Amino acid sequence: MRSKTYNPERRDDSMSHRSKPGLLFLHALPLDGSMWAGHMDIAGISTCAPTLYGLGDTVESWAIEALKQTTSERLIVVGCSVGGSCALEVAAAAPQRLAALVLIGTKARHDPDPELHAQALELLETEGAAGAWTRYWAPLFSRSAHPEIVAAARRAALRQHAGGLACGITAFHRRQSRDRLVAACQIPITVITGEEDLAPGLKTSTEIVASARHGSLHVIPDCGHYVPLEKPEALRSILNDVIQAQV
């Protein structure tokens, strides 16, 4: 399957990549790189938002291939959900290129559940992306999420090839535990969670920050799992602070 990239590299030639890091955005299931559309112009720096499903069948391969799509020497890697898992793999694969990590709705520890994995693949096969959306992804929005935001996300999910979503589900369920990486990481780790996010939720997000050497936690009120969609202004403010800390 061919990979798709949303605006893969945006450059500002007036600014050295050595003085400001680039941003690598890694999307959540069942969406694609376009979920970051509202953040591609942030702070006038290089941004890259690849669509991950065509980059292999593991988050490790996603990380390696995503790194090839940005030429920034230093990176702030921002991942939402499975994109956060991929961000941790970027940190494992190329620690020398990372300036900071931003993890949104992400679990560092993983306890495999083969039965749940099989159920998700079966539902996708029998009921398609629409059925999987209703069962797994629609409930992750907050109760106050604007209906058009949810509707737009659903349209984006239904645009994805079923094979790509199956690949994403498998990559998510077969990912490694990276709690030890978080504990050893020398760079700043910013953890963001919606107040109403149930996957992973405030408890897990707090545990990640507590284990990190340089961790900070942001809890976004009236927000669910998909912070970049529900509360883009709040995320943009946090990202601006992370960027300024690296200048």
| Mean pLDDT per 10-residue interval, the chain, length 247 residues | 37 45 97 96 93 96 97 95 98 97 97 96 97 97 98 97 96 97 97 96 96 97 98 97 92
Residue environment code for 109-121, b if the CB has 16+ CB neighbours within 10 A, otherwise e: eeeeeeeeeeebb
Q: In this predicted structure, what is the pLDDT of residue 6? A: 38
Other C-beta atoms within 10 Å of 230: how many?
25
- Determine the structural domain holding residue 242 and report its residue range: 5-111+167-246
| Residue 135 resides in a domain | no
| Residue 233 resides in a domain | yes
The answer to whether the Cα torsion of 97, 100, 101, 102 is positive or negative is negative
Residue of 172, 141, 167 whose CA lies nearest to 154: 141
| Residue 223 resides in a domain | yes
Laid out side by side, the sheet with 215-220 consists of: 5-10, 47-50, 22-26, 75-80, 98-104, 189-194, 215-220
* CATH number, domain containing residue 14: 3.40.50.1820
| Residue 210 resides in a domain | yes
| Residue 13 resides in a domain | yes
Domain total for the chain? 1
| Residue 61 resides in a domain | yes
The token duo for 8 is 């893969």
Q: In this predicted structure, what is the pLDDT of residue 225? A: 98
Q: In this predicted structure, what is the pLDDT of residue 17? A: 39
| Residue 12 resides in a domain | yes
